[in-house]
């Protein structure tokens, strides 16, 4: 297990290095922030001074080495636009993103798992059909459109929920549902198929033959075994939520990390883009690592095979 | 009238006057505004560019402003000013008793230090080139500042006034500026609103300054929310989450359908197609560009053909939602005193004539051209204008290659004048009340910037206008000489003057706006309903 763990961690570090390098090069290919920071009437001298001030006059390899060295020392640099430490920007935005991500994830699980389970148990019934319609809609409706429709219905027509912005619990409902709907549909389908497989297995038949009450058969023996792929899927989705909520954050004017990265891309604020992508990659790779370790813990064949 | 009745009436009148007087009313409630962008979100004079002035103006004040009715310069922090020595010397007399939000008194030294900071090397401020022309500044006494120039600077008053887009010569205190990063966290100024909170990328909150020297706001709090998505801004307004939104022309009909009040700020930016390469003295000049070739007459015919090929009225209606006026001459607004009936009249939409012009210029089969589809902040409609014009040009045989290009990529070519033969849609906000001041930036060979055209005749006009202290004479030169010359020369494809729109909720009452001022302003005068 120890060797497996070290191997996977090394892989994670190498992946991070690759991400750092790719993001560094791509951001610099995408245009010079000096041109966006200064008015079009700025002089050559202003451009030179600002370029030097931002350290963008140095050769790219030098900039890269400095960047990696600073990263190793825990220094993400300063925003080109605000001149504040990048960590401050991330710290300001991460709570909003985590708040939205966690709520969306909870909604997904609370909707997807029970519906998926009962859909499998009542296969072919009205609930199953309704659940499948729910799943198809959830996976086919664009987030952007769904968000706007929810705003119009609950915010404008009924006037019961805020139409945008971050505030109390009420502000969270619509963006969390918008973000979580797609995932809840995916979790529903996954739970349903896993449950169908489990319910057809010998040990479930045996449990029923033993005369165990049906709720015990379903919840204790059925769902616990069916949940393994669902948990894996949910962990990875949660990590994706943290960075992939750009559309939801934009539609609902939610001041999260995804929007920060998007805005920083448009202004070529390299340090924020680099740090944001790095944080998200780290979360994703850590999530992956966690899932792998969980799998190898639960299924010894994996670690033995890897070893 | 008997005495008791007279006293009672006088008392009643006094009560009514007191209750009705906006100045006496205590600020109450919150005015929430949703805007697309906050710009750079910086607070020091050398760090803001200009595009963010919508969210900065409530906090800051300038030396001068413009009269909402006449558009004339009027006092703000300077209670009076003198233009001496033919425009080489400007003397500003500051208002006594004005205090910054931290309690410091406003002095001439604060103004001097603000202007000195604005021109620092590497300054992002769009006014830096103009302020660098200042030769010296002298603080004569705590309330008097004299600004001297080598050459006459007859419109310096336009650079220090608030009633314009991009009027970012905001006066700050020397102590605040020297505090640097501290000022970035807690900006201090003299405006009717004081800083309360700034959550970067999300909200900026101001609080009313009670008993402000100029205008005590009617609302207690002013909250700006950054809502990039226009459909969300509209929904937030309809849901009552915000009271004012900025919105593009394409949404006006929808707002009207659902009964939302709209406020039109007319003629705030001039939309036209830049024809790149008209810079014969620059190293990037390409004589093969049809509209900039050395044969001036043939080049003019090409430019005229490119105008005649385009149905400007259709573009104004369909792309800009009918929110604008098609005008013939370049960079003059229909309401300007120097705009004549002739210059108001657009070049007609006449494709057969356009083809004939092209043939006469030596291009019967058309030519190849690149149309950059580049969006600029606050002017997201420009790629659509470029696309529409490209389609019209194709109808007269011109082969147009569309090039969607991010501003960050194109900006370098734009500054370096390295885009000969490339066309692009552009909208010039009203950065100055007199069009030659815009041309000073866009087409004057002796300025720091020469964006897309140059001509000895244009230099000559600008040289004359720049030293003419008499505003009426400047107006005459523009009306009788420069305007007709530009219309004859056809430097670009004129589309027209575009309006800006605000969607307004039920809480908002009266809102006096300064004509021609791009972007929202005068928040302190917005009344409660």
Which residue in chain A is spatially nearest to B410 when comparing CA positions?
A31
Nearest to B408 among A30, A53, A164 (CB): A30
CA A248 – CA A240 distance, rounded (Å): 13
SS3 sequence of chain A: CHHHHHHHHHHHHHHHHHHHHHHHHHHHHCCCHHHHHCCCCCCHHHHHHHHHHCCCCCCHHHHHHHHHHHHHCCCCCECCCCCCEHHHHHHHHHHHHHHHHHHHHHHHHHHHHHHHHHHHHCCCCHHHHHHHHHHHHHHHCCHHHHHHHHHHHHHHHCCCCCCCCCCCHHHHHHHHHHHHHHHHHHHHHHHHHHHHHHHCCHHHHHHHHCCCCHHHHHHHHHHHHHHHHHHHHHHHHHHHHHHHCHHHHHHCCCCCHHHHHHHHHHCCCHHHHHHHHHHHHHHHHHHHHHHHHHHHHHCHHHHHHHC
Q: What is the pLDDT averaged over residues B114-141? A: 90
Residues belonging to chain B: 529
With an 8 Å Cβ cutoff, the interface of chain B facing chain A consists of: 34, 40-42, 49-50, 121-126, 128-129, 181, 184, 199-202, 225-229, 231-232, 235-236, 238-241, 406-409, 411-412, 414-415, 441, 448-449, 451
Which residue in chain A is spatially nearest to B224 when comparing CA positions?
A165
Higher pLDDT, A239 or B139: B139
CB–CB of B408 and A268 under 8 A?
yes
pLDDT of residue B11: 41
Strands B203-208 and B324-325: unpaired
CB-based contact, A259 to chain B, within 8 Å: yes
pLDDT, chain B, mean: 86
pLDDT tens-digit readout, B71-98: 788 999 999 999 999 899 999 999 999 9
pLDDT of residue A149: 92
Under DSSP, the state recorded for B75 is E
pLDDT of residue A42: 74
DSSP, collapsed to helix, strand or coil, labels residue B422 as: strand
The nearest CA of chain A is from the CA of B130 a distance in Å of 10
Range in A34-48, B290-304, B352-366 with the lowest mean pLDDT = A34-48
Kindly list the residues from chain A whose CB atom is less than 8 angstroms away from the CB atom of residue B125.
39
CB–CB of B129 and A35 under 8 A?
no
Kindly list the residues from chain B whose CB atom is less than 8 angstroms away from the CB atom of residue A93.
201
Range in A46-50, B300-304, B493-497 with the lowest mean pLDDT = A46-50
Query: Which residue ranges of chain A lie beneath pLDDT 50?
Result: 307
pLDDT of residue B313: 93
CB-based contact, A19 to chain B, within 8 Å: no
Kindly list the residues from chain B whose CB atom is less than 8 angstroms away from the CB atom of residue A162.
239, 241
Which residue in chain A is spatially nearest to B50 when comparing CA positions?
A39
Instruction: Look up residue B444 and give its two tokens.
Output: 């004057």
DSSP, collapsed to helix, strand or coil, labels residue B3 as: helix
pLDDT of residue A304: 54
pLDDT of residue B7: 43
The model's confidence at residue B390, banded by pLDDT at 50, 70 and 90, is very high
Residue tagged 């004057």 (tokens): B444
CB–CB of B411 and A263 under 8 A?
no
Instruction: Evaluate if residue B430 carries a pLDDT over 70.
Output: no
CA-wise closest residue to B349 among B311, B387, B402: B311
Predicted complex ipTM: 0.76
CA A151 – CA A171 distance, rounded (Å): 11
Strand partners, B376: B379
pLDDT of residue B263: 86
Nearest to B441 among A36, A41, A163 (CB): A41
Instruction: Evaluate if residue B406 carries a pLDDT over 70.
Output: yes
The model's confidence at residue B169, banded by pLDDT at 50, 70 and 90, is very high
The Cα diameter of chain B in Å comes to 92
SS3 sequence of B342-410: HHHCCCCCCHHHHHHHHHHCCCCCCCEEEEEECCECCECCHHHHHHHHHHHHHHCCCEEEEEECCHHHH
Higher pLDDT, B504 or A266: B504
CA B411 – CA B407 distance, rounded (Å): 6
CA-wise closest residue to B312 among B296, B298, B329: B329
Higher pLDDT, B506 or B328: B506
Range B112-115, long-range pairs (CB < 8 A, 24+ positions): B112/B137, B112/B139, B112/B145, B113/B174, B113/B177, B114/B45, B114/B169, B114/B170, B114/B171, B114/B172, B114/B174, B114/B177, B115/B45, B115/B147, B115/B169
CA B326 – CA A144 distance, rounded (Å): 35
Report how far Cα B488 is from the mean position of its chain's Cα atoms. Answer: 26
CA B122 – CA B16 distance, rounded (Å): 55
CA B473 – CA B87 distance, rounded (Å): 14
CA-wise closest residue to B121 among A270, A83, A38, A79: A38
The nearest CA of chain A is from the CA of B332 a distance in Å of 21
Instruction: Evaluate if residue B2 carries a pLDDT over 50.
Output: no
Kindly list the residues from chain A whose CB atom is less than 8 angstroms away from the CB atom of residue B123.
42, 46
CA dist B503 → A92, A128, B249, B261, B338 (Å)? 30, 46, 11, 6, 31
pLDDT of residue B21: 41
Helix axes A169-199, A86-121, angle to 10 degrees: 40
Under DSSP, the state recorded for B508 is B
CB–CB of A37 and B124 under 8 A?
yes
pLDDT of residue B525: 93
Which residue in chain B is spatially nearest to A158 when comparing CA positions?
B239
Q: Contact at 8 Å (CB) between B75 and B61?
A: no
CA B392 – CA B319 distance, rounded (Å): 14
Instruction: Evaluate if residue B329 carries a pLDDT over 80.
Output: no
Interface test with chain A among B38, B123, B181, B232, by most A beta carbons within 10 Å: B232
pLDDT tens-digit readout, B192-202: 999 999 988 88
CB–CB of A155 and B241 under 8 A?
yes
HSE-CB at A32 with a 13 A cutoff on CA atoms is 19
CA-wise closest residue to B123 among A78, A138, A34: A34
Which residue in chain A is spatially nearest to B439 when comparing CA positions?
A41
The Cα diameter of chain A in Å comes to 86
CB–CB of A253 and B226 under 8 A?
yes
CB–CB of B231 and A148 under 8 A?
yes
* Contacts of A218 by beta carbon, 8 Å cutoff, 6+ apart: A117, A121
DSSP, collapsed to helix, strand or coil, labels residue B7 as: helix
Interface test with chain B among A79, A81, A160, A165, by most B beta carbons within 10 Å: A165
Nearest to A152 among B42, B235, B406 (CB): B235
Instruction: Look up residue A202 and give its two tokens.
Output: 């010998």
First to last CA, chain A: 8
């Amino acid at each position: 297990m120890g060797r497996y763990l070290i191997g996977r961690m090394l892989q994670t570090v190498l992946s991070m290095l690759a991400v750092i390098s790719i993001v560094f090069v791509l951001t610099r290919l995408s245009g010079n922030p000096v041109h966006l920071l200064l008015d079009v009437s700025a002089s050559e001298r202003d451009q030179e001074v600002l370029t030097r001030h931002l350290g963008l006059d140095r050769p790219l390899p030098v900039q890269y080495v400095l960047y990696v060295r600073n990263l190793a020392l825990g220094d993400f640099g300063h925003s080109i636009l605000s001149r504040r430490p990048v960590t401050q920007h991330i710290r300001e935005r991460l709570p909003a993103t985590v708040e939205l991500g966690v709520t969306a994830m909870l909604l997904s699980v609370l909707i997807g798992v029970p519906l998926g389970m009962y859909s499998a148990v009542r296969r072919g019934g009205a609930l199953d059909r309704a659940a499948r319609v729910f799943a198809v809609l959830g996976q086919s409706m664009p987030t952007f459109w769904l968000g706007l429709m929810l705003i119009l219905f609950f915010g404008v027509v009924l006037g019961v929920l805020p139409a945008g912005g971050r505030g109390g619990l009420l502000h969270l409902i619509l963006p969390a549902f918008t973000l979580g709907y797609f995932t809840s549909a995916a979790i529903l389908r996954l739970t349903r198929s896993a449950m169908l497989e489990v319910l057809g297995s010998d040990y479930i038949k045996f449990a029923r033959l033993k005369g165990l009450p049906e709720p015990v058969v379903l919840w204790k023996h059925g769902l616990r075994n069916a949940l393994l792929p669902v948990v894996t899927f949910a962990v990875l989705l949660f990590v994706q939520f943290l960075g992939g909520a750009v559309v939801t954050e934009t539609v609902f004017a939610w001041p999260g990390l995804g929007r920060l990265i998007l805005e920083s891309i448009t202004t070529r604020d390299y340090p924020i883009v680099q740090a944001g992508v790095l944080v998200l990659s780290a979360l994703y790779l850590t999530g992956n690592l966690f899932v792998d370790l969980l799998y190898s813990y639960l299924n010894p064949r994996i670690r033995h095979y890897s070893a | 009238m008997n005495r008791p009745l007279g006293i009672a009436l006088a008392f009643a009148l006094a009560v009514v006057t007191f209750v009705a007087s906006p100045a006496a009313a205590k600020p109450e409630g919150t005015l929430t505004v949703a805007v697309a962008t906050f710009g750079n979100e910086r607070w020091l004079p050398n760090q803001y560019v200009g595009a963010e002035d919508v969210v900065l103006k409530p906090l800051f004040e300038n030396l001068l402003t413009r009269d909402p009715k006449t558009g004339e310069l009027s006092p703000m922090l300077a209670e009076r000013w003198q233009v001496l020595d033919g425009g080489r010397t400007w003397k500003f007399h500051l208002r006594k008793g004005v205090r910054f939000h931290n309690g410091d008194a406003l002095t001439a030294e604060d103004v001097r230090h603000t202007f000195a900071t604005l021109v620092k090397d590497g300054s992002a401020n769009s006014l830096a080139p103009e302020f660098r022309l200042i030769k010296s500044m002298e603080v004569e006494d705590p309330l008097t500042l004299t600004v001297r120039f080598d050459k006459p600077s007859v419109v310096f008053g336009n650079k220090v006034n608030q009633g314009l887009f991009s009027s970012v010569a905001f006066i700050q205190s020397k102590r605040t500026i020297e505090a640097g990063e501290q000022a970035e966290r807690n900006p201090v100024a003299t405006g009717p609103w004081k800083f309360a909170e700034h959550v970067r990328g999300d909200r900026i909150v101001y609080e009313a300054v009670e008993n402000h020297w100029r205008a005590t706001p009617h609302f207690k709090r002013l909250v700006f929310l950054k809502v990039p998505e226009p459909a969300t801004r509209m929904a937030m307004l309809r849901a009552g989450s915000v009271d004012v939104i900025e919105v593009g022309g394409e949404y006006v009909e929808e707002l009207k359908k659902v009964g939302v009040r709209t406020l039109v700020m007319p003629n705030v930016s001039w939309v036209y197609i830049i024809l790149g390469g008209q810079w014969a003295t620059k190293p990037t000049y390409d004589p093969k560009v049809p509209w900039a070739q050395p044969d001036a007459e043939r080049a003019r015919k090409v430019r005229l053909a490119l105008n005649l090929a385009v149905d400007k009225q259709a573009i104004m209606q369909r792309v800009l939602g009918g929110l604008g006026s098609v005008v013939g001459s370049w960079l003059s607004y229909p309401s300007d005193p120097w705009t004549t009936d002739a210059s108001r009249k657009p070049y007609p939409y006449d494709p057969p004539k356009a083809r004939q012009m092209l043939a006469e210029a030596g291009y019967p089969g058309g030519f190849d051209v690149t149309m950059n589809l580049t969006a600029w902040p606050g002017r997201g409609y420009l790629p659509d204008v470029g696309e529409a014009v490209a389609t019209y040009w194709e109808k007269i045989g011109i082969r147009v290659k569309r090039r969607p290009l991010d501003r960050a990529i194109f900006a370098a070519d734009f500054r370096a004048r390295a885009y000969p033969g490339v066309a692009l849609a552009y909208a010039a906000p009203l950065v100055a009340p007199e069009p030659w001041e815009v041309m000073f930036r866009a087409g004057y060979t002796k300025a720091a910037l020469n964006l897309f055209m140059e001509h000895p005749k244009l230099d000559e006009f600008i040289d004359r206008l720049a030293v003419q202290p008499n505003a009426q004479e400047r107006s005459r030169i523009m009306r009788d000489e420069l305007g007709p010359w530009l219309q004859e020369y056809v430097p670009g494809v004129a589309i027209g003057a575009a309006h800006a729109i605000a969607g307004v909720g039920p809480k908002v009452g009266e809102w006096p706006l300064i004509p021609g001022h791009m972007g929202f302003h005068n928040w302190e005068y917005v009344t409660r309903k």
